[in-house]
Amino acid sequence: MPTLSSDDAFAEVKAKVDLVKVVQEHVRLTKRNKDYWGLCPFHQEDSPSFHVNPQRQSWYCFGCERKGDVFTFVELIEKTDKRGALQLLAERAGVELKKLSPEQKDKADLRKRTLAMLKLAAQYYEYVLWKMPAGEPGRRLLESRHVAEETARRFQLGYAPAGRGFAEYLRAKGRSLADALEAGLMRRDGTDFFAERLAIPIRDERGQVLAFTARAVRQDEQKKYINSPDSPTYIKGRVIFGLDLAR
């Protein structure tokens, strides 16, 4: 069994797996001429708009306009990343991957912890906005801008209260403050990086929270918007806002 680096493995695995068979484990496909069609697994629809081209080993949805190859399909359907998709498909193809170096493993583990922390922060901010008195400034801002609750919830908008509320929340859950600091959610004194701001998650196409942009609610704030600092999950300018909701 060959042991390959990741770069070589992508080509090796892609040559050994059949996109149609992978998709058929999740989507009921109907053959039309040489191609296959089915209901898209990534958005709600009544008529089949999900197209698989077996010759090109590619897929495209005419409804939500997502597209890709077997790796992007597995990334989306399994809610994993590129490396995770490679590992899943490599096992299927009988291809042994080169093991990660300690440095690569540490980097991957840090990214995983950061993603988990960002997801937790988004849930906390959303809860504060709708369920706590401290979220009132955020609710007033949305009302003044005529943003409906349905729209706000679709984008998972939230509110970061003043002080050390998020730090206290993490302590109560037994979670690492160091991970929150690494994710750009907290300042070194323990205060929330986005304190007294409407928190707007920036997510990838799988819906994973990678960072936040946050709008001030106070009129005396010098900066109306601030963004997350660069982190293991985010480099400013490389992620399109609303990509996971694109149709």
What pLDDT score was predicted for residue 232? 79
What pLDDT score was predicted for residue 247? 40
pLDDT tens digit string along 212-244? 999 999 988 889 999 998 887 776 655 545 545
What pLDDT score was predicted for residue 246? 47
What pLDDT score was predicted for residue 170? 96
What pLDDT score was predicted for residue 99? 75
What pLDDT score was predicted for residue 112? 86
Cβ atoms < 10 Å from Cβ of 105:
11
- Counting as low any pLDDT under 50, the low residues of the chain are 1-2, 240, 243, 246-247
What pLDDT score was predicted for residue 206? 66
210, HSE (Cβ side, Cα atoms, 13 Å)? 21
What pLDDT score was predicted for residue 6? 60
Q: Can you state the percent helix, strand and coil of the chain, rounding each to 5?
A: 40, 20, 40
What pLDDT score was predicted for residue 207? 78
Identify the CA nearest to 17 among candidates 5, 25, 7.
25
What pLDDT score was predicted for residue 103? 83
What pLDDT score was predicted for residue 1? 44
pLDDT tens digit string along 13-49? 999 999 999 999 999 999 999 999 999 999 999 999 9
What pLDDT score was predicted for residue 80? 83
The radius of gyration of the chain from alpha carbons, rounded to an integer in Å, stands at 21
- Domains of the chain from N-terminus onward: 3-97 (3.90.580.10), 105-245 (3.90.980.10)
